[in-house]
A and B are shown apart, each in its own frame.
Chain A
Amino acid sequence: MIVELLIATTLLAAFVTFAVPNRYAPKLATGLSVVPLAISLFMYATFEGSGNALLSESIAFESQASWVDLGPYSLSWHVGLDGIALPLVVLSTVLTTLAMGSAWSPIDTRQSQFYGLVLVMEASLIGVFSALDFFAWFVFWEAVLVPMYFLIGVWGGPRRKYAAIKFFVYTNVASLAMFVSFVALVFGLPVDTFDLPAIAASLRAGELSGLAWIGADTLRIAAFVGIFAGFAVKVPIVPFHTWLPDAHVEAPTPVSVLLAGVLLKMGTYALLRFNFTMLDGVAREFAAIIALFAVVNVIYGALLALAQSDMKRIVAYSSVSSMGYVVLGLVAYTTYGVGGATFQMVAHGLISGLMFMTVGVIYNATHTRMVTQMSGIADRMPVASGALVAGAFGYMGLPLMSGFWGEFYVFVGAFDAFPGSAIFTAVAMFGIVIVAGYLLWMLQRTLFGPFELATDYEVGPAPVRDVAPVLALLGLVLLLGFVPNLIFDMITGAVDPILDPGVRVAVAGGESP
């Protein structure tokens, strides 16, 4: 029942925050968010799960109860965690607390509503990563959209309404495509439930029999494409990505932290669960096409970032590029490929959060995010500048930072994965060069040289309350950089059941498969 406790305490914290006056909301909400954070860390410390939640019988923190009957189908409340979901739950709780800490300065209106919505979103995110029944999962999936819509639309920048509506319509249409495709798939199976492990078992056993006039193979491929397209918007995968830069640029900084840090991971997590676990045969069959999408994401996202001069837009497009590595790792179907992709989800969550947070701290002081409108910031804001440099190094994949392991594992796992994968991996590696190019250009122009600022504000060291969350995130980036096995062993334990026995390998310092 600990997953229910986690979700309930987060929702309770949200309702309490909604009820208190605005002036108390920031500190109270941040304080209350420590409770789910502590619970998730306790779950991490006591985690004894083994295997994949969809494919194994032993699921950590599992609980199940009958919910409602829908014709011949029974819907249930079924939650549980494995080594893929737990790191993402911890990531959600950590980033939410830190994002709320970073919101104390920039959010100065309707604070109780802002922090309450952030907590509602946190509860929904935990639900997405822990639900094991499709309908419960879908309720949480859609529930994430509502607070995010308001967070962008109410507290965002000048074009917030455009960005919020674009985000909502884009992701909602995608959800519809995914929902229809998945339900059609279930209707073609001899199951009487929407329980995800049961559906996964039936699909992997080859029990799909077709639906109406559609044959089994056609249905399998059509459903794969529909579900993939639905999740591709959330990841995002080119060309379904154009909602992302608008949402990031218009969203307030703490919301950008959560958007890049956790919300994008919903897409990659769902891809892993649905497309790459349940429909693994189709994914393997079309591996080269999916890898092509991944490589285009890496290079195209990096090129778009190179053409920007708004720091938030640069970091936003970097996320598009980084998500390409995740998709490349997933389609590799090797321990290091899929494990590295999952590791990269966490690593990118921390690093992108760090980057957005630091850009926000600099923006709070300079009131501009344009690279061309400032220089020499490092003299005035040394700690924030140092954190920005460190975050950029993390994005570039420098050793001893978490980003290094995510990308390195993906490259190692993908290089020899399937015919032609070496070429895809080599081209994807070139993305790092472009990333280094635009990030170093951004750092050089904004942080170094003589101090100049077009907005004419007085700039001094950032307040401690602004840099504290930044330094905490930096500490986590370094911690995972030094000791990746803090989560990588757990991840590979959950990843291996998806793979062919022949490609499983023992991770260094971990258990043999």
Chain B
Amino acid sequence: LVVLGVLAAGTGFVNMVPVAKLAGAKIDYLHAWLDGPAGLGTAVHHYDALLKDVAGYAAADLSPLAPAGVSLGLALAGGLLARSLYARPDPVEHTDRLGRVKTVLASNYYLDEFQVWLAEGVTLRVARAANTVDQGVIDGVVDGVSSVSLFSGDRLRRIQDGIVTHYATFVTLGLVALLLIVGLTGGWFL
């Protein structure tokens, strides 16, 4: 815990923008590093320009002092509240007073359960249904067209039976059909 605390504090000092703003000292190391050369495409002003100039979204012009003040205030308030409740020889658990709310809070608002339900109960089921539709319907239509083509080809192939009179009959029927079509579209029978 001590190591983690030291690392957390160290990380905080890497980007002390609010303090830099107040003291005027150049100690916003992370910000300065991210504000690097534009050509690399990793510079923060690159994203700033993209969001403002291209996507049309600009960040609110908010001083870093206000968010820093709010978060610091909340942290201190929590610390003071905890001290007033538990800094005594025989501390008692106060959370029972919350009733059912305690269970909700202890379960992290059931967010884990919600996410598991969303992933397994909804998304995975929808994905499996989509896969069934894809294989059965969309790909089925493609395979169906293929089967119909093969079946039709096989049936049509039987026309070629080698008997000349049959061929002559088909040619004659075809010619009559063509004449009918041309006649109907050309207005011969009107």
Contact among A169, A170, A416, A508 with B55 in the assembled complex (CB-CB below 8 Å): A416
CA distance A336 to B55 in the complex (A): 9
CA distance A308 to B126 in the complex (A): 13
Query: Contacts A505-B54, A508-B50; is A482 near B128 (CB within 8 Å)?
Result: no
> With a CB–CB cut-off of 8 A, which chain A residues contact B127?
303-304, 306-307
Say yes or no: B41 contacts A242, CB within 8 Å: no
Chain A, interface SS category: helix
Contact among A307, A405, A415 with B41 in the assembled complex (CB-CB below 8 Å): A405
CA distance A239 to B38 in the complex (A): 41
Say yes or no: B54 contacts A509, CB within 8 Å: no
B124 on the interface (CB 8 Å rule)?
yes
Q: Which residues of A contact B (CB under 8 A)?
A: 166, 169-170, 239, 242, 300, 303-304, 306-308, 334-336, 399-400, 405, 408, 411-413, 415-416, 434, 437, 482-485, 488, 505, 508-509
> With a CB–CB cut-off of 8 A, which chain A residues contact B42?
399-400, 482
Chain B, interface SS category: helix
A/B interface sample: 13 pairs, CB < 8 A: A170-B142, A239-B138, A242-B139, A242-B142, A300-B130, A303-B126, A304-B130, A304-B134, A307-B130, A308-B131, A412-B51, A416-B54, A437-B123
Say yes or no: B123 contacts A508, CB within 8 Å: no
Q: Residue among B41, B46, B51, B126 with the most chain A CB within 10 A?
A: B41
Say yes or no: A509 contacts B38, CB within 8 Å: yes
Query: Contacts A334-B54, A437-B119; is A483 near B39 (CB within 8 Å)?
Result: yes
Q: Return B11 CB to nearest CB of chain A, in Å.
A: 19
Say yes or no: B142 contacts A166, CB within 8 Å: yes
Query: Contacts A306-B123, A307-B128, A415-B56; is A508 near B38 (CB within 8 Å)?
Result: yes
CA distance A485 to B165 in the complex (A): 74
0/1 string, B75-101, CB within 8 A of A gives 1: 000000000000000000000000000
0/1 string, B17-40, CB within 8 A of A gives 1: 000000000000000000001111
Which residue of chain A lies nearest to B132 when distances are taken between CB atoms in the complex? A307
> With a CB–CB cut-off of 8 A, which chain B residues contact A509?
37-41, 46
The 6 closest A-B pairs by CB, nearest first: A307-B131, A509-B38, A306-B127, A509-B39, A508-B46, A307-B127
> With a CB–CB cut-off of 8 A, which chain A residues contact B40?
482-483, 509
Say yes or no: A336 contacts B50, CB within 8 Å: yes
B179 on the interface (CB 8 Å rule)?
no
Say yes or no: B55 contacts A412, CB within 8 Å: yes
Say yes or no: A505 contacts B41, CB within 8 Å: no
CA distance A437 to B131 in the complex (A): 17
B61 on the interface (CB 8 Å rule)?
no
Which residue of chain A lies nearest to B138 when distances are taken between CB atoms in the complex? A239
Say yes or no: A303 contacts B130, CB within 8 Å: yes
CA distance A241 to B44 in the complex (A): 39
Q: Residue among B37, B43, B124 with the most chain A CB within 10 A?
A: B124
Q: Return A159 CB to nearest CB of chain B, in Å.
A: 13
Say yes or no: A508 contacts B49, CB within 8 Å: yes
Q: Return A423 CB to nearest CB of chain B, in Å.
A: 14
CA distance A509 to B39 in the complex (A): 5
For the side of the interface on B, what is the size category? 20 to 34
Q: Which residues of B contact A (CB under 8 A)?
A: 37-43, 45-46, 49-51, 53-57, 119, 123-124, 126-128, 130-131, 134, 138-139, 142, 146
Apart from A304-B131, A483-B41, list 12 A-B contacts with CB within 8 A. A239-B138, A242-B138, A303-B131, A336-B50, A400-B42, A405-B41, A411-B55, A412-B55, A437-B123, A488-B41, A508-B43, A509-B37
Q: Return B76 CB to nearest CB of chain A, in Å.
A: 34
Q: Residue among A300, A400, A408, A509 with the most chain B CB within 10 A?
A: A509
CA distance A257 to B64 in the complex (A): 48
Q: Residue among B46, B123, B128 with the most chain A CB within 10 A?
A: B123
Which residue of chain A lies nearest to B149 when distances are taken between CB atoms in the complex? A169
Contact among B45, B54, B139 with A336 in the assembled complex (CB-CB below 8 Å): B54
CA distance A416 to B58 in the complex (A): 13
> With a CB–CB cut-off of 8 A, which chain B residues contact A169?
146
Say yes or no: A508 contacts B142, CB within 8 Å: no
> With a CB–CB cut-off of 8 A, which chain A residues contact B53?
505
Say yes or no: B41 contacts A306, CB within 8 Å: no
CA distance A483 to B42 in the complex (A): 8
> With a CB–CB cut-off of 8 A, which chain A residues contact B119?
437
Contact among B39, B51, B124 with A485 in the assembled complex (CB-CB below 8 Å): B39
> With a CB–CB cut-off of 8 A, which chain B residues contact A334?
54
Which residue of chain A lies nearest to B51 when distances are taken between CB atoms in the complex? A412
Say yes or no: A484 contacts B41, CB within 8 Å: yes
Q: Return A392 CB to nearest CB of chain B, in Å.
A: 17
Q: Return A312 CB to nearest CB of chain B, in Å.
A: 15
Say yes or no: B134 contacts A242, CB within 8 Å: yes
CA distance A308 to B134 in the complex (A): 12
CA distance A304 to B136 in the complex (A): 13
Say yes or no: A306 contacts B39, CB within 8 Å: no
Which residue of chain A lies nearest to B53 when distances are taken between CB atoms in the complex? A505
CA distance A484 to B49 in the complex (A): 16
CA distance A412 to B46 in the complex (A): 12
Q: Residue among B37, B123, B127 with the most chain A CB within 10 A?
A: B127
Say yes or no: B39 contacts A416, CB within 8 Å: no
> With a CB–CB cut-off of 8 A, which chain B residues contact A304?
127, 130-131, 134
> With a CB–CB cut-off of 8 A, which chain A residues contact B142?
166, 170, 242
Which residue of chain B lies nearest to A400 when distances are taken between CB atoms in the complex? B42
CA distance A41 to B142 in the complex (A): 42
> With a CB–CB cut-off of 8 A, which chain B residues contact A505?
53-54
CA distance A335 to B124 in the complex (A): 36
Q: Return B16 CB to nearest CB of chain A, in Å.
A: 24
CA distance A186 to B54 in the complex (A): 36
> With a CB–CB cut-off of 8 A, which chain A residues contact B138?
239, 242
CA distance A100 to B37 in the complex (A): 37
> With a CB–CB cut-off of 8 A, which chain B residues contact A239?
138
> With a CB–CB cut-off of 8 A, which chain B residues contact A399?
42
Q: Return A111 CB to nearest CB of chain B, in Å.
A: 33
CA distance A399 to B142 in the complex (A): 40
CA distance A242 to B130 in the complex (A): 13
CA distance A416 to B51 in the complex (A): 10
